[in-house]
Structure 1
Amino acid sequence: MLRAPVIVAAHGSWEPGPLPSQLGKTNRPSDLLGFKAHFTGSSLAPDLMPLLVFPGGYGGMVSADHGRLSISCCIRRDMLALLRKQPGPTQQSHLSAADAVSRHLMESCRGVRDALESAHPDGSWLAAGPIRPGIRSCYERDIFRVGNAAGESHPVVAEGISMALQSGWLLACELACAPDGRAGREAAGRRYEAAWKKLFSTRVYAAAAIAGITLRPGNATLMAAIIRNFPQALTLGAQLSGKTKPVPGFV
C-alpha cells in the first residue's frame, strides 16, 4: 500500500507489478521486442542517424558517448522466434535472441554491415519489451502517470525520452498550482490529461502510421523512394513527430 499526498507512476509500460497503473502481461505474435547494443570502432559518420528497416522490424544507428556506436531496434516476436530456429554456431543449438537479431541486421541491412565492418562489441546486447505504443489514462484511481506509463509512441520517431521528460514537466506545472486534497488532484489530472493529448497525440498516431509502413513486407524500398524523391517528407515527419513543437510553459 502506498500513502503520499501525490503518487506519480513513472515505471514505464512493460515493467510488471501489482500497481493499478501497470499493464497486464500479454504474449502476442505481433509484439515488438526491443534490442540495443554498443560498438566501438565503427565507420558511421557522427552527423548521421540512419533509420533501419528490415523484415519484421525497424531500428536506428547513432553515434553515442565515448566514441561508441549505438544500435537500437525492435522486432516482431514471431519473426524473432523464426530466426532463432536457425542453427547456432555449433550447428546443433538454436541461436540466442541476441545472436539472431545481430545476424538478421547484418544480413538485411547493408548500412549496418558497412558501419560495423571494423567495429567491436562494447558489452552485451540489451533487451526489453514488449513495447506498448498507445495512449493511456494520465490520471486514474488517484495515480498520475508520466512517461511510457501515460502513453508512448513507436520508437521509429525516437521521441521516447523526450516525451517522458516533457510529460513530467506538464504534470509538475499542473500540480504546482493544484489545491490540496482529492478534488484538487482530480482537477489537476483533467488538465494534465488534456495538455498531454494536445502535445503528444499527433506524434503517437504519426509514429504508428510510419511504423506500420516499415513493418509491411517490401515497404523499405517504398520508404527509400519517398525520401529520395520528396525530401520534404523529412520535414513533415519532424513536424508530425513533435520535434518542432514547443513545450507549454517551458522557458
Structure 2
Amino acid sequence: MLGLSARRLIGAALPELLAGTTPVAVGVQGGVARGTADEFSDTDLVFVYRDEESAAGAGRGHFLDEGRRMWGIRHLHLSRLDVARWPDGRRYVYGYETIPYADEDGVLAAICAEARPGRAELGERIAYQVRKIAQRGIAYPDRLPARWRGFDLTEIDPWLARGDLLSAHLRLNQTLELLVGLIYSANGRPRPSAKAVYSILSSLPWYPEAVRAGLSKLAEVRALDEASHASRSRAARAVLIACVDEATRAGLAADDLGAVYAAAKPAPTDD
C-alpha cells in the first residue's frame, strides 16, 4: 500500500508532470512501491495512455524537479501493449512492484495481473531449469545415470575429467544463475532484472536459510581446483533438491517433468 506522504508528494507533482494530458491510469514503481525508498531513491511512475498521441507533452525519462527530487517517468501505450512479449524483468516490475495511484477503470491492475505467470507457464519454466541444471552435472538423484521424473539423466559435466578446471567452475556459475531462476519459479514469479535479481531474493515468500546458505556456498570459489568444485557442486545439489521439493509441494512441478519439457521445447532441427 502506498503511504500517505508518498501520495501527497506524487499528487502535488502530477499536474506539472502530466502537462495537461489525461492518462488512463498512473502507477508507482521502484523503491517507493517496494517500500524500500530512501533519500537517495528516485520516484518512479508509469503513465498509462491509450496511444502515443494522447501522451504528447507529458513528462518522460529521468529528471530533477525544482526541489532536486529525481523522477523516473515511463509511458505505457495501450494501442501497442503486448504483455506476452515482455521480458521477465518488466513482467516482474508490473506483476509485483507496481501500485496503482490512479486507476479508476482498473486498466493498470489488469495489466499487472496479466504480467504474472500462470501455473502452466511456471511448470514449463521449472522443467526447463531442472533439465538445464542437470546438463551441467547437478541432478536430484544421488547417482547418475538415472531415470527420474521423465528425464534420462546421463549427462555428467565432462570438464573435470578433461582437466579443464576453469570451464568446470564457470559451468557451476551457469548453474548458480539457473538455480536463482528456479527459486523464483518455485515462488511463482518470473526472474527480475539483473539489477535487482539477487537483492530481491531475501524478500520472497519462500527463501529458507538453507537455500540462502547453499547459494552463498555455491558462489564461493576458494581455488580453481577439484576440492572447491566438489564443495560447490554439493551446495548446488542441495539448493536444487530444496527447490524441486518446494515446487512439487506447491503443485507447480509435474510428476513427469520430462514430458512437460518435451512438450514445450521445439523439436531439434538445424534449418
* Same structural fold, with TM-score higher than 0.5 when normalized by the shorter chain: no
* Larger RCO (CA under 8 A, 6+ residues apart): 1
Q: TM-score, normalised by structure 2?
A: 0.28
Q: TM-score, normalised by structure 1?
A: 0.30
Q: Which has the higher strand share?
A: 1
Larger radius of gyration: 2
